[in-house]
Amino acid sequence: MSIGIKFWGVRGNIACPEPTYFKYGGNTACVQLNMGGTHVILDAGTGLRNLGDEYLRQGVKDINILMSHVHADHLAGINYFKPIYIPGHSINMLAGHLRGNDWMKQAIYEHMREEVHPVQYHQLPSNFICEDFVAGKNFYINLDIKVKTVPLNHPGGSTGYRIEYQGKTLCYVTDTEHVEGHHNPRVLDLIKDADIVIYDTTFTEEEWPSKKGWGHSTWQEGVKLCQKAGAKKMVMFHYSPDYEDDMVDKMVSEAQAAWDGIIAAKDGMELVIS
């Protein structure tokens, strides 16, 4: 009765396929969760393409996708996620920042419209459902996975998730900008006593002031939030595309020297909360 976690994309903003990004990986946001055979994906960035192939190998046909938001780096993988093209597959995609009116479906329509992609949403043979909720709402997946959500501070909005399963807790807090000297009480409450918090560590503390308004955070803020909230581990995530491996290496070693609860996300990395 554990939460299995695998990272398929850890980069922010845009995919970086060059060799200088191979150590941490260049695919954009996509995290796979397996909870007793229930499959949940956090974000549909470019890493989703490889995860789709893995699901086909494993015969996984029921898939839930929770979107932080629909900026391109979090949605770019969906058009190449093979399960959406195969009858008998059910994909349920949810977003909490679009304020209703079927906006998640509208976003997918736009992403697959004729001028953009050769196959349109209405032509897909799978059971691909797109739904909205209002961030702040809590709900269940398969009755035994509790999902809590909060709105995050990001241009156009973003949603943070707390996923609880069999007494284990994983939080996903990305694309969130903090306010200096003020810990977001909604985030503190969301991540309280969590086993693992995946957190937006896009920028260094030195660069962050010049990127105010971009909607991102730093590992230093993540550590403060996690320690204040009693969270056990923090995963650094959503690295800036301007930071090649040597730069991320430096950030990670500084972060790990500051707190031994730090893990650096990499494409292909697996974690288990048991």
**Interface with Zn ion includes 177 (CB under 5 A)?**
no
Is the Cβ of residue 32 or residue 126 nearer to Zn ion in the bound state?
32
* Residue span 96-115 as binding mask against Zn ion, x where in contact by CB under 5 A, dash where not: --------------------
3-state secondary structure of 247: helix
**Residue 96: partners with Cβ closer than 8 Å, 6 or more residues away:** 67, 132, 133, 134, 135, 136, 137, 149, 151, 159
Which residues make beta-bridge pairs with 51?
none
Nearer to Zn ion, 73 or 244 (CB): 73
Stretch that binds Zn ion, among 4-12, 119-127, 137-145, 217-225 (CB under 5 A): 4-12
Residue choice 164, 175, 177, 244 for contact with Zn ion (CB under 5 A): 175
As separate numbers, helices (DSSP H) first and strands (DSSP E) second, the chain gives 6, 14
Cβ closest to Zn ion, residue 46 vs residue 64:
46
Position closest to Zn ion via CB? 71
Candidate ranges 102-110, 112-120, 173-181, 255-263; the one touching Zn ion (CB under 5 A): 173-181
DSSP string, 136-201: TB-EEETTTEEEEEEEE-STT-EEEEEEEETTEEEEEE-S---BTTB--HHHHHHTTT-SEEEEE-
Residue with tokens 């974000």: 43
Q: Per CB under 5 A, which of residues 70..99 are in contact with Zn ion?
A: 71, 73
Q: Which residues bind Zn ion (CB under 5 A)?
A: 12, 71, 73, 175
